Amino acid sequence: MIFYKLIGIGLAAAFILTSCNFASAPVATASATATPMASPTPLVPTATVSAGSSVTETSTPGSTATQVATEPATPTTSLTAQVNPGMNAYCRKGPGTDYFSITYLQAGNFYKVIGQNGLETWWLIQVPGNVTCWMGDPTSVTQGPVDTVPILMAPPLPSSASSFENTSHCDPVLNTMTVWLTWTAAQGATGYNIYRNGSLIAKLEAKHLAYTDNAPRGVNMKYQIEAFNDYGVSSRQTTRVSACV
């Protein structure tokens, strides 16, 4: 009897232990409100396209195509007023053939224009050596804004000598011919050139207003006088002498 009681007590203890092993532990529950993250909005650069510019479309895989403006290249050189003589020509101290020449220009070369005479027939140009002079070739070719260069005053030339006269004496015995030339002063002159039949026979200071020539016999003679200054010469005055026979 005691034996059966012990068995009952053991079975009860085993049941209790089994019940303890299979007990579920309390599960803690936590509620959390999760806010889904918003997808980032892709930033698209804004391009301002100016008139005359080109636009290039670029894209990468998975991205939105964008526009890139490329400005046109700005020219680095500007037009310069230039003139090219059509033939070899003298370059002078002023706009006219009465002015002294400074240098000689080669046809085919372009020269920078810095002024003109107002008629666009003579150009003040710059030549090597930082020298300026006037060119007036009717066959010249211009390029650039030559019509915008300033109109410049011509340097002053002397006036012509007036009252250019002669007296002469023919001496057949001595076989001589003497010619006396006289003239009135020319305004702005620093001197005078005297020519006989086209050849220069005397160069005189401005203070001289007369000249004596021991001329050849048997020749008709044409005398000419021109006044000059630092820039050029005046037009010539003429007087004639008959041959001494």
Q: What is the pTM of this model?
A: 0.65
For the chain, what are the domain ranges?
82-148, 162-241
Structure tokens at 95: 């706009």
Is a pLDDT exceeding 60 seen at residue 3? Answer: no
Kindly report the length of the chain.
Answer: 245
Q: What confidence tens digit (pLDDT) does each residue in 119-134 have?
A: 999 999 999 988 999 9
What average pLDDT does range 24-40 have in this prediction? 43
What pLDDT does 138 receive? 87
Position 225 scores a pLDDT of 98
pLDDT of 136 reads 94
Reply yes or no on whether the pLDDT at 67 is more than 80: no
- Averaged over 137-145, what is the pLDDT? 91
Among 24-33, 118-127, 135-144, 199-208, whose mean pLDDT is lowest?
24-33
Nearest to 226 by CA among 98, 102, 97, 134: 98
Would you give the end-to-end CA distance of the chain in angstroms?
202
* Residue 116, pLDDT score: 96
pLDDT in tens, 213-243: 999 999 999 999 999 999 999 999 999 999 9
Express each pLDDT in 156-206 by its tens digit: 999 999 899 999 999 988 889 999 999 999 999 999 999 999 999 999 999
Q: What percent of the chain has pLDDT over 70?
A: 68
User: What share of the chain has pLDDT > 90, as a percent?
Assistant: 61
CA distances from 64 to 38, 42, 61 (A): 18, 8, 8
What CATH number matches the domain at 82-148, 1.10.3720.10, 3.40.50.740, 2.30.30.40, 2.130.10.10? Answer: 2.30.30.40
What Å distances lie between residue 189 and 95, 148, 211, 230, 238, CA to CA?
19, 34, 17, 9, 18
Q: Which two tokens stand for residue 238?
A: 């003429």
Q: Which fold does the domain 162-241 belong to in CATH?
A: Immunoglobulin-like (2.60.40)
Which is more confidently placed, 139 or 229?
229
